[in-house]
Amino acid sequence: MSALNEKGIALPIVVAVTAIVTILGFTAAYLVESQASLNLHFINNKKALYYAEAGMYEYLWRLNKDSKFYEHDDDFIFDGGVPRVHDVPGGHYQLAIDDPATDRPVVTIRATGWPDRDPGNRSTIAVEVHKRQFVQHIYLSGEEQTPDGEEVWWITGDEAWGPLHTNGTLHIDGDPVFHDRVTYSVGIEERWGSNPVYEAGPPEKVAPLVFPASNSQLKTQALLNGYYYNGRTCILLNGDQVVIRHRDGAAETRPLPPNGVIYVDGSTSGSKWDLNTGNAFVSGTLDGRLTIAAAKDVYITAKDPTNFNYDSAAPTGGVLYADADFDPEGGMTDDMLGLIAGGYVRILHYGWPHSQPPYYRNGNRDVAPYNITIHAALFALNWSFEYEDYDRGALKGVINLTGSITQKYRGAVGTFSSWSGNRLTGYNKHYMHDPRMLYDTPPHFLEPVNAGWEIVNWRGAPNP
């Protein structure tokens, strides 16, 4: 073969190799550039997530300062009706908030973030948070025993609708029915032959909720923009008003206090009738939101306690809401009552307040009704919720309570035979949780010392 022909063959090969090398070079350059672009996009996406998290934590910080911030956050969320853009170093975020409801008792924070240099690269998270509260339980106790150390038992005929918790040991004798979650922090004891019904599954051991030292913060609220009284005070809930009879004075009618707090101060010793004690006697029907706190005890009565003539006092049936619709499907009531005692919350059993020494009448007269209705969140800070002198008198009917009970020591509302299981005195318990209290409380209601907003769910979400 001639040299000319060899050159003719070599030239196409050189051209082909050059083309391949060129293509590979461009491909490599493209891949390097693409990889750099992908890396930059990835980094910016991580920054977008960081800015979204910054927005979520900013809102969570505001919730920790004001647990109802979601009710008045429009200026923080919107700017002229459109989502407000919040600036952070190197980027931005916007927020959308889903308020809590009975079917989803959490605040949902939807946060979208993006970096300055890549505004189209956005990341959105949806974070559900809730705050630990005493009223999230139908029933919560520090100890399942009386202040004297006597164990108190759940027995046949007792029912609880709503979450139930004790920081101590739960005692079961018979076949009570628990329709919701049951938790404890120490233990659970079931007597032989007991067959309790746990509809939400077996009881669970969890961390305790820590009680505050006092209810004095409510005294501060009452002095600021509520109603403050010193000494024995009788209160009739009369729709959107309250009738107050303080000590031995005449009754006065007032609108509900501006901040929803009434505080009854006074001595924490002495009898329930002593005019100097910080005792409140409460009954009637509420149309609105109110918290009544007492330095000593709160007594729930079945007649108007501001009328010192028991025979002519109007029956009330207990403490009730004007709108008692607790069905989430039926347009829930907006009425809400809190009763907080430094000592006991009691159903009044014997006697009636009066203005003349010894400041009561009918001392041995049974004034407790056969059945009683209580619509309220009850809190006995240092002692118990109980039926006064529960081991005396005639057998009663049922306490129909809708709301929440929190007490340091377990109070009794009756006695029963450990041999037969039959009630001997007092009431049966039908306790139903107010579903709004999974996320709402009466005005300025006490919170656990270890309360705080907790993240219960965190997930990525589509960008708006």
Give residues with Cβ within 8 angstroms of 380, minimum separation 6: 341, 343, 344, 345, 406, 407, 408, 409, 411
For residues 421, 426, 428, 429, the Cα torsion angle rounded to the nearest 10 degrees is -130
Beta bridge partner(s), residue 298: 280, 345
Are 340 and 379 in contact by the 8 Å Cβ rule? The answer is yes
How confident is the model at residue 416, as a pLDDT?
Answer: 83
Within 66-128, where are the H helices? Answer: 74-77
The first and second tokens of residue 209, run together, are: 């909720």
220-232 pLDDT tens trace: 999 999 999 999 9
Listed residue (183, 188, 190) closest to 205, CA to CA: 183
How confident is the model at residue 148, as a pLDDT?
Answer: 84
Count CB neighbours of 372 within 10 A: 25
| The residue count for the chain | 464
- For the full predicted model, state whether its pTM sits above 0.75: yes
DSSP 283: E
Could you give the CA distance from residue 294 to residue 218 in angstroms, rounded to a whole number?
A: 9
Are 407 and 379 in contact by the 8 Å Cβ rule? The answer is yes
Spacing of C-alpha 411 from chain mean position: 21
Count CB neighbours of 270 within 10 A: 15
- What separation in angstroms does the CA of 101 have from each of 84, 105, 108, 133, 250? 24, 5, 11, 16, 43
Are 84 and 78 in contact by the 8 Å Cβ rule? The answer is yes
Give residues with Cβ within 8 angstroms of 141, minimum separation 6: 165, 166, 167, 168, 406, 407, 408, 409, 410
Could you give the CA distance from residue 246 to residue 263 in angstroms, rounded to a whole number?
A: 12
Radius of gyration of the chain from Cα atoms?
32
φ, ψ for residue 216, nearest 5 deg: -65, -25
The per-residue b/e assignment along 94-128, b for 16 or more CB within 10 angstroms, e otherwise, is bbbbeebebeebbbbbbbbbbbeebeebbbbbbbb
Could you give the CA distance from residue 52 to residue 114 in angstroms, rounded to a whole number?
A: 8
Listed residue (222, 230, 347, 316) closest to 279, CA to CA: 230
pLDDT < 70: residue spans in the chain: 1-40, 330
